[in-house]
Amino acid sequence: MAESGIKRSRDGELETVVNIQGCTTEGDLLFAQKCKELQGFIRPLTDLLNGLKMGRFERGLSSFQQSVAMDRIQRIVGVLQKPQMGERYLGTLLQVEGMLKTWFPHIAAQKSSLSGSRHQMAK
């Protein structure tokens, strides 16, 4: 299993550190790469989650809708922070990617440096 962790970059953004040596398949590597690309969405998702927790959306959503939204957002952030989950969840991650790009069109996906490591994995 790949070792990974979360660290803060110099600008304060959360960033996942991925050791791709544990990526056993091309799909695992692709999943880890996608997670890295979508790291920029963690902050706006966290802001949205905090707004839900503080009751900012009480008028527009029922309490059930709020709890479902909070659960889903927490799950999405959790997946983005665990790139070692692997290719089993790649289809779901691609669907989440489309949703995130629709919700937050002003946020660009980060370029991943993992794609150059594909050659190292084959060695």
Whether residue 123 is contained in a domain is answered as no
Residue, of 85 and 113, whose pLDDT is higher: 85
Query: Would residue 60 count as lying in a domain?
Result: yes
Residue 39: domain span: 26-103
Express each pLDDT in 3-47 by its tens digit. Answer: 445 454 555 544 444 454 555 788 899 999 999 999 999 999 999
pLDDT at 117 over 60: no
Q: What percent of the chain has pLDDT over 70?
A: 69
99 is a domain residue:
yes
Where does the chain show beta strands of DSSP type E? 4-8, 14-18
Give the pLDDT of residue 119: 40
In a domain, 90, yes or no: yes
Query: Average of pLDDT values for 56-67?
Result: 89
Determine how many CB atoms are found less than 10 A away from the CB of residue 55.
11
Look at residue 121 and tell me if it is in a domain. Answer: no
Domain count along the chain: 1
C-alpha triplet 25, 29, 30: angle, nearest 5°? 115
